[in-house]
Amino acid sequence: MPSIASTIYIRKEKTNQETPSTEGEHGGIAPTAASTGTIAYQGRLADATGAPLTGTYNMTFRLYTGATGGTPLWSEQWTGTNGVKVSDGLFNVMLGSLTQLPISQFTNSQSLFLDITVGTDDEMQPRVQLGSVPFAVQALTVPDGSVTTAKIANGAVTQAKLGADVSLAPPDGSVTTAKIVNGAVTQAKLGEQPYFFHGAFATPTEWMADVIFNSNYARFCQIIGRTFARADELQKHYQPQRGVGFLYSGSYYTGGRYHSADTYVWGNGDPGNGYNVWKYNGGNGCCPNGADVGWTMETTAIIWCR
């Protein structure tokens, strides 16, 4: 009766889609059954006198949870065209390539023992206790309920990983004052904000004259570093003979041209027409009364910037 020598080696586990080849000098058909994990097993087969054997042998492999007795967790038969090729006593098989290994049961078994039967002989004794290889195969899968909070890296759960019924957006009204860090609300975080604008000539800046006379409200938002959204113009009208303070060199005013040296800015360019904007260049000295220009435009609006 042949026997398995005590020098038996457990090599490394293989992932799925790996199948052993039994082709050799004796020929034969390679196992083709796919598995979720296989165990490479190498042994030495000898006769009763210890002489190594050569040939093709039918073998049955079984896994138990104990060294003796019990019901096998798994068994696999290498017979017929899938018989085990033995050369000078050595053979190699990929356990699990013909019958799928019960990977899910490996975690529940602290020890596994391999039993081998050659041909019609009795099971060989003692059974071979396997090392950590089956548990390494088990590591290729993730058991249900095993991914705990501690195992999830910070930032690993993105919106794409969440189901349709889960949202990372905070509920309406949940961001209170206490939750906002001082200085966290920057200009970029603000939405549309309304600004009250009222202007009349004379005015010291060209952009303000543009807003008042041309309703170019985008200029206002640009000046304060924001983007124009919309404007609600409340009133725009001319006031005859209304004093607007004093004219200083470089200021802008509405009405007929005050001095021949003044520069035309907007309107129809007619010096005698009150619906024009001029720039006072100081031709009549400092600080004449603005009422002398005859007309003044006033504009009032709510300008929305974001």
How many Cβ atoms sit within 10 Å of the Cβ of residue 107? 14
The pLDDT of residue 251 is: 87
The span from the CA of 135 to the CA of 246, in Å, is 93
Mean pLDDT of the region 46-68:
93
247-297 pLDDT, tens digit per residue, is 788 888 888 888 999 999 999 999 988 788 999 999 988 877 666 666 778
The better pLDDT of the pair 18, 304 is held by: 304
> Please, which pLDDT band fits residue 7 given cuts at 50, 70 and 90?
very low
> Please, which pLDDT band fits residue 11 given cuts at 50, 70 and 90?
very low
The pLDDT of residue 135 is: 55
Q: Is the pLDDT confidence value at 12 over 50?
A: no
The pLDDT of residue 293 is: 64
Average pLDDT, the chain: 79
The pLDDT of residue 69 is: 93
For the chain, domains (ranges, CATH) are 3-138 (2.60.40), 190-305 (no CATH)
The better pLDDT of the pair 245, 267 is held by: 267
The span from the CA of 217 to the CA of 156, in Å, is 47
Compute CA 20 distance to the chain's CA centroid, rounded to the nearest angstrom.
Answer: 40
174-214 pLDDT, tens digit per residue, is 888 888 888 888 766 777 899 999 988 778 888 998 998 89
Q: Is the pLDDT confidence value at 97 over 70?
A: yes
Contact 30, 77 (CB under 8 A): no
Mean pLDDT of the region 73-100:
95
The pLDDT of residue 19 is: 32
Q: Give Cβ neighbours of residue 130 (< 8 Å, ≥ 6 apart).
A: 10, 39, 63, 111, 112, 113, 114
Side-chain-side CA neighbours of 135 within 13 Å: the count stands at 10
For residue 72, count CB atoms less than 10 angstroms from its CB and return exposed for 0-12, middle for 13-18, buried for 19 or more: middle
The span from the CA of 217 to the CA of 215, in Å, is 6
The residues pairing with 10 across neighbouring beta strands, listed in sequence order, are 41
The span from the CA of 3 to the CA of 117, in Å, is 9
Q: 75-84, 115-124, 163-172, 246-255: which has the minimum mean pLDDT?
A: 163-172
The pLDDT of residue 194 is: 94
The pLDDT of residue 265 is: 93
Q: Among 36, 11, 43, 56, which Cα is nearest to 97's? A: 36
The better pLDDT of the pair 146, 73 is held by: 73
129-176 pLDDT, tens digit per residue, is 876 555 555 555 677 777 888 888 888 888 788 877 777 777 888 888
Which alpha helices (DSSP H) does the chain contain, by range? 103-106, 133-138, 206-214, 217-223
> Please, which pLDDT band fits residue 18 given cuts at 50, 70 and 90?
very low
pTM: 0.40
Of these ranges, 231-245, 266-280, 291-305, the one predicted with the greatest mean pLDDT is: 266-280
The better pLDDT of the pair 119, 284 is held by: 119
Share of the chain above pLDDT 90, in %: 37
Compute CA 122 distance to the chain's CA centroid, rounded to the nearest angstrom.
Answer: 58
What is the DSSP code string of 60-98? EEEEESSSSSS--SEEEEE-GGGPEEEBTTEEEEEETSS
Q: Give Cβ neighbours of residue 116 (< 8 Å, ≥ 6 apart).
A: 4, 43, 59, 60, 61, 62, 123, 124, 128
The pLDDT of residue 26 is: 29
Q: Is the pLDDT confidence value at 91 over 70?
A: yes
Contact 277, 213 (CB under 8 A): yes
